[in-house]
Amino acid sequence: MSSAAAQAFKKEGNKLFQAGKHREAIAKYTLAIEQDGTDVTFFSNRSAAYAALELWEEAAEDGRACIRIKKDFIKGYFRLAVALRSLKRYKEAVDNIKMGLAVDPGNSDLKKQASEMEEIMRQDKVAGLISKAKEQAQNGDFGECLKTIDRGLALDGGNKELTSLKSKVKPKFEASEKRRVSGLSKPAREKEDGDVKYKNADFEGAIAAYTRCLDALPDKSTELALKALSNRAACYKQLSNFDGTIEDCTAVLEVEPDNVKSLVRRAQAFEAVERYKSALQDVKYVLSMPANTVGQANWTLCNQMQHRLNRVVQQLKQGM
């Protein structure tokens, strides 16, 4: 229980706070804390006084103290959220608010803070993307600029600044692409045509374009040929032509045995045509490779496949 002296200091602090004498109030709350460091209201009130002086780091620390002392003291989460928001530490503020809402899901103050913080974060991200897009446009990196603009418009579809910038950049990108493509060899242009058709989900058209590219290349070990083979394999997979997928992935792997994308894609195709041992062999090879080479998504996928394929192979053995 708080001592009488501590409560007296708090009472004096409250009077000073109400009078707008925030520094003097802080001194009184500090004396109260020195008398009794277990009363959350002392820290909460001092946090409010620090906030009134825009001393946000100190206000945040007292908010944390409230939570440490009493995890279900909701005002502590609120105090900390206000301070972190003012420090522009938005993600940390949102994480703190979520912790508070886990304690009191119906708290209207925290819900309002959460909604406001999400909106601030969205606006902040859009502003960052606008700045990045302008820099990319200035540097003549029109393709990446359009990608950045589209990310911004996904967050703020009616943004006039992004829409205006896109209307200026898109014709420049299209002109530069036209110049670039005109300078490509015929096989390279066919490969580019395949890429466009793939993005538009015209997988049969893409296969035809990649095939024309490969037919024009006598050496199937060149970078262009390997890309065409890999992309055609992806199209075959989309159309459930797993034999075609296996054939093209195998052609890539004969040149690049550690090509993770082709190994994973071929393993999936092997599994689809019930060649489980071959699929398992590819999956195990991927999992034996360095993690930074494989990537987290591929590693997780292959790990899941390995468990599933091991079970299937064992079941087949038992059945035999």
Q: What is the pLDDT of residues 30-66, one digit of tens each?
A: 999 999 999 999 999 999 999 999 999 999 999 999 9
Q: Distance between CA 157 and CA 162 in Å, rounded?
A: 9
Note the pLDDT of residue 66.
96
Q: In the numeric block, which tokens belong to residue 97? A: 């608010």
Contact of 162 with 156, CB cutoff 8 Å: yes
Q: What is the pLDDT of residues 243-264, one digit of tens each?
A: 999 999 999 999 999 999 999 9
Q: Distance between CA 300 and CA 186 in Å, rounded?
A: 39
**CA geometry: angle 218, 220, 223, nearest 5 deg:** 115
Note the pLDDT of residue 117.
87
Question: Cα 142 vs. chain centroid, distance in angstroms?
Answer: 23
Residue ranges of the chain with per-residue pLDDT less than 70: 1-2, 320
According to DSSP, residue 184 is labeled: S
Contact of 30 with 62, CB cutoff 8 Å: no
Q: C-alpha distances in angstroms, 15 versus 32, 53, 62, 75, 84?
A: 14, 16, 20, 20, 27
Q: Supply the mean pLDDT for the chain.
A: 94
Cα Rg of the chain, angstroms: 31
Note the pLDDT of residue 129.
96
User: Which domains, ranges and CATH numbers included, belong to the chain?
Assistant: 4-105 (1.25.40.10), 123-182 (no CATH), 185-256 (1.25.40.10), 274-320 (no CATH)
Can you give the pTM of this predicted structure? 0.57
Q: Distance between CA 25 and CA 45 in Å, rounded?
A: 9
Note the pLDDT of residue 2.
59
Note the pLDDT of residue 27.
97
Q: In the numeric block, which tokens belong to residue 258? A: 């550690």
Note the pLDDT of residue 1.
46
Q: Distance between CA 236 and CA 194 in Å, rounded?
A: 13
Q: Distance between CA 123 and CA 136 in Å, rounded?
A: 20
